[in-house]
Structure 1
Amino acid sequence: MLKNLKIGAKFNLLLLLVFIVSVLVSGAALSNVLQQKAQNEVTSQGFILMQTMNAVRNYTQKQINPLLAARLETETTFISETVPAYSASQVFTNFRANPEYQNFLYKEATLNPTNLRDKADIFETQLVEQFRKDSNKKQLVGFRTLPEGQVFYVARPLQIQEQSCLRCHSTPEQAPKSQLITYGSTNGFGWQLNEIVAAQIISVPSTEIFNNAHRSWLLIMGILVTIFVILGLLINFLIKKTVIQRIKRIEKTAQKVSTGDMSVDFTETSSDEIGGLAAAFNRMKFSLKIAMDMINEQGE
């Protein structure tokens, strides 16, 4: 079938094949680059927020708690501001008040929390259990689908590393009275030193970021396709003008010569390969004319 195609059709077929392969390869490579860029962006946001929340926790643990710890025995309600987890959660709640960040999430998902607001769900429980099984694992990252959409999460283990933390979480007898009044004596006890009791989880909405990456991919691919089409049309036009039309002229002249018309010449002013072909045909025509004249003379 290809043997029956003209040069122009063969060239266009080859050009189309190169175009398709180029678009597929460049599209796949570009998609990988943009997807990786989008993932790096959400990862960076997650790490920054995690470090910020840890700074809040550290500030509360080192500076706020010592100032208010004595009042936990005398107050009628528990002073939540002394708890690092509470401070971090409240700061993040204020952060989410900005509509731009309302789908960002922060939670210190705990298996046995004092405040049931921090109770780990099934997925979060699995994260905590992974940290418990492998104490060397310091971080888990991945994607999770929530009602807010797909989110990228960064999870780190929360381990009881200071004896002072057990004041509120070892036994109800050792807990501050205000804590028992506010939260009761059922939840948040039995924690052990060096035990991993929770997972600190930052969730960054990723749907819009990946949608932006997809839109960028479509835009860039549209530009590339347009450039390929324009280049294809331009190359096709140049090939037609510089090759195909000149070959067609040589073909028409050769047809006339083959019918005995020796008055025509293979006119080519260019010195390229096609010009050389035309010159060779002219020499062949001249030799053929001489041979025919000799035959005619001998016939007479």
Structure 2
Amino acid sequence: MGLRAKFNLVLTLAFALGIGLAAFLSHRIVNENAREEVLQNARIMVESALAIRGYTVKEIRPLLTLQLKRQFLPQSVSSYAAQQNFRALHERFPEYTYKEAALNPTNLNDRATDWEADIINEFRNNAERSELIVERDTPTGRVLTLARPIRITDAGCLVCHSTPDAAPATMRALYGDNNGFGWKLDETIGAQVVSVPMAVPLARANQIFQVFIGGLVAIFALLLVLLNILLHVTVIRRIGRIANMADRVSLGEEGVPELDASGRDEISRLATSFTRMRRSLDDAMKMLDT
């Protein structure tokens, strides 16, 4: 195996290991960044829902006090207001969803599905848990779901949800007496569930990853070409000349021109040493002849 082949083999192995390590680390980093971006969007949605809930309780419900005595208005319920706002968003961005799922809701539209019930039960079994992050595969692609528990921390909520007899008659007339009752203080009755698609951030992350790795490969190819040119000009060609001249001298050829020993690198020192040896050999042969 020639010097060039050995050099290229070692260099290729080194670059392959480097690119492999860079690919592993960069792929992990860009995907983690994409996931963090999705998670941040989900948290913003949850905080927006909480802001809508707070606004409804403080600003809207007091304005409807008189109407509520004659007719129950769902618009006065903070969870209804938050979900209605996000339903409008869902019409434009169907991949984004927000739901306040409950095991025993007043409005049956809020009843938890099987996987939402699993999340709620996780919160019920681990009261210290304040957030749950789940990744799911759906027909439209991979989705990140962020859930936070809904706990009864205000005894005022039990006025409508303890027993049917204690609930406003206008509410019972709208939703009936069979759902949304039996709640208890400090009980986890549901969860805020936000689902955000991961397809676009992951696709963007993969595109960045491909561009990055493609750039590394292109840089490697360019360096390999440049280093081969440098190796040929500064090492292989000059050593080849020295080897060729050594063969000619060893075969007894006369009139072999001297090597160009200009420069201060190792090859120049080798050429200088060879020239000195050749002169010494010529002097020795002349002494033998005389």
Q: Which TM class, normalised by the smaller chain length?
A: over 0.9
Structure 1 residue 286 and structure 2 residue 263: aligned? Answer: no
Query: 1:104: how far off?
Result: 0.5
Amino acid paired to 1:206:
M
Amino acid paired to 1:59:
Y
1:105 is matched with which residue: 93, 97, 102? 97
Give 5+ residue unaligned stretches, structure 2.
none
Scaled by the length of structure 1, the TM-score of the pair is 0.92
Using the TM superposition, name which of 227-236 and 263-272 deviates more: 263-272
Query: 1:70: how far off?
Result: 4.5
2:175 is matched with which residue: 178, 183, 189? 183
Structure 2 equivalent of residue 96 of structure 1: 90
Scaled by the length of structure 2, the TM-score of the pair is 0.95
In structure 1, the residue corresponding to 2:192 is in which secondary structure? strand
1:202-261 alpha-carbon deviations (Å, 9 max, x no partner): 111112211110011111211121111111111111111111111101110011011012
Structure 1 residue 249 and structure 2 residue 241: aligned? Answer: yes
User: RMSD across aligned C-alpha pairs, in angstroms?
Assistant: 1.5
Structure 2 equivalent of residue 23 of structure 1: 19
Structure 2 equivalent of residue 80 of structure 1: 74
Query: 1:57: how far off?
Result: 0.7
Q: Is the 8 A contact 1:153 1:202 kept in 2?
A: yes
Count residues with an aligned counterpart.
289
Structure 1 residue 239 and structure 2 residue 235: aligned? Answer: no
Q: Is the 8 A contact 1:110 1:119 kept in 2?
A: yes
Using the TM superposition, name which of 247-256 and 283-292 deviates more: 283-292
Structure 1 equivalent of residue 267 of structure 2: 274
Structure 2 equivalent of residue 57 of structure 1: 53
Query: 1:65: how far off?
Result: 2.3
Give 5+ residue unaligned stretches, structure 1.
none
Cα distance in 1 for partners of 2:254, 2:119 equals 91
Cα distance in 2 for partners of 1:257, 1:37 equals 67
1:42-95 alpha-carbon deviations (Å, 9 max, x no partner): 1111111111100001111223223324433422xx311011111000111112
1:114-148 alpha-carbon deviations (Å, 9 max, x no partner): 11111111211111112112221111113122333
Structure 1 equivalent of residue 62 of structure 2: 66
Structure 2 equivalent of residue 173 of structure 1: 165
